[in-house]
Amino acid sequence: WQPYLPLAGLLSATEVVSHWTAVFEKRGIPEAQASSEYIVAHVLGAKTFQSLRPVLRTQPLSPWQLQHVQKLSSCRLQRMPVQYILGEWDFQGLSLKMAPPVFIPRPETEELVEWVLKEVTQSSCPMGAQGGPLILEVGCGSGAISLSLLSQLPQSRVIAVDKGEAAICLTQENAQRLRLLDRIQIVPLDVTLEGSWSHLLPWGPMDLVVSNPPYIFHQDMEQLAPEIRSYEDPVALDGGEEGMDIITHILALAPWLLKDSGSIFLEVDPRHPELVGSWLQSRPDLSLDLVAVRKDFCGRPRFLHIRRSGP
Ligand code: GLN
């Protein structure tokens, strides 16, 4: 059985989408139709198939375009995530470059950004001296959180850290694409290593720390979809035995990183609100309170707001 199309078939975009949808379904590729629509739209210079002008959907693809679709579709047959195949993905209305193995921002994380924006603009969180908050993002990956906060908070400044070189480069590239380089410092840093923080705070302590840290329980790593397991950096996902390794490092650094009434916003596993709550009780020296837990769009407790309540 031959999944490949003859090159001179005079096939329209709609027919090519149907062909590859059927191939993907047959091979058990998740999101078969969405995958083939994204690929065909991309080759025709559009973001989504729905946004293609009707004439472009019915017009035959050129042999070169068919070949391009074929090449990208064979990556999908290897379970490459569509975000890496297209090389870009939208997050909070920003078009970000994506490249393996840098973590692909998930839709849940857009809810984290929206929550932070709401809290900052309603100003239960303090503002920085120049009118906008100073924000630290731990584990910036492609820069999705930092760059969307910067673009929606025109006065804010961000320090984005990540221990992966590929992540640092990608955040840098995305900041450049979006012309946001003047308000962001991008620093290669491993939060679990002692002593590298002092030089990191050129603007003094921060108003906010935001992070979607690696939080998957180590024993759950093997159950991840092949798209994740084979392509994304496990370092961005594996949070250790109880998924808390990086979370607790961030919390323990709060007295050095945060202003006295600063806030931490985290994306976590649904089991974490309880675990983080009891961990904080065991560390009264940090003066941190879990002030709110928020659910994601699937109704799972997913986001934490932790506030510092003193020196
Ligand atoms: N939500 C992600 C996933 O399930 C994990 C995110 C993370 O560890 N930060 O793939």
Per-residue pLDDT tens digits for 58-98: 999 999 999 999 999 999 999 999 999 999 999 999 999 99
Q: Are residues 38 and 176 in the same domain?
A: no
Distance separating alpha carbons of residues 267 and 252, to the nearest angstrom: 17
How confident is the model over 133-181, as pLDDT tens digits?
Answer: 999 999 999 999 999 999 999 999 999 999 999 999 999 999 999 999 9
Retrieve residue 223's tokens. 């159950």
Q: How confident is the model at residue 193 (pLDDT cuts 50, 70, 90)?
A: confident
Q: How far is CA 7 from CA 23, 65, 234, in A?
A: 16, 9, 38
Atom of ligand 1 nearest to the CA of 109: 1
> Are 205 and 258 within 8 A, CB to CB?
yes
Residues 245 and 218 sit within 8 Å (Cβ to Cβ)? no
Does 191 map to a domain? Answer: yes
Closest atom of ligand 1 to CA, residue 106: 1
User: Is the confidence at residue 1, as pLDDT, over 50?
Assistant: no
pLDDT interval class at 2 (50, 70, 90) = low
Pair 235, 258 in one domain: yes
Rounded to the nearest whole angstrom, what is the distance from the C-alpha of residue 150 to the centroid of ligand 1? 23
Structurally, how many domains does the chain consist of?
Answer: 2
User: Same structural domain for residues 194 and 302?
Assistant: yes
Domain around 21: 13-78
Ligand 1 pocket (Cβ < 6 Å) reads 106, 212-216, 228, 237
Ligand 1: residue whose CA is nearest its atom 9: 214
Separate counts of helices (H) and strands (E) for the chain: 12, 9
Angle at 234 between CA 208 and CA 254, to 5 degrees: 20
Q: Are residues 128 and 275 in the same domain?
A: yes
Residue with CA nearest ligand 1 atom 4:
216
pLDDT more than 90, % of the chain: 83
User: Contact 288/250 with Cβ under 8 angstroms?
Assistant: no
Query: Which of 53, 78, 103 corresponds to the end of one domain?
Result: 78
Whether 26 maps to a domain, the answer reads yes
Q: Judge if 271 and 132 occupy the same domain.
A: yes
Last residue of a domain, one of 55, 78, 101: 78
CA of 43 to the centre of ligand 1 (A): 29
Q: Where among 78, 106, 125 does a domain terminate?
A: 78
Write the DSSP symbol of residue 101.
Answer: T
**Cα distances (angstroms) measured from residue 295 to each of 270, 273, 305:** 9, 11, 12
Among 113, 162, 163, 215, say which to mutate for ligand 1: greatest number of ligand atoms within 8 Å of CB: 215
Instruction: Output the CA 254–ligand 1 centroid distance in Å.
Output: 23
What pTM did the predictor assign? 0.94
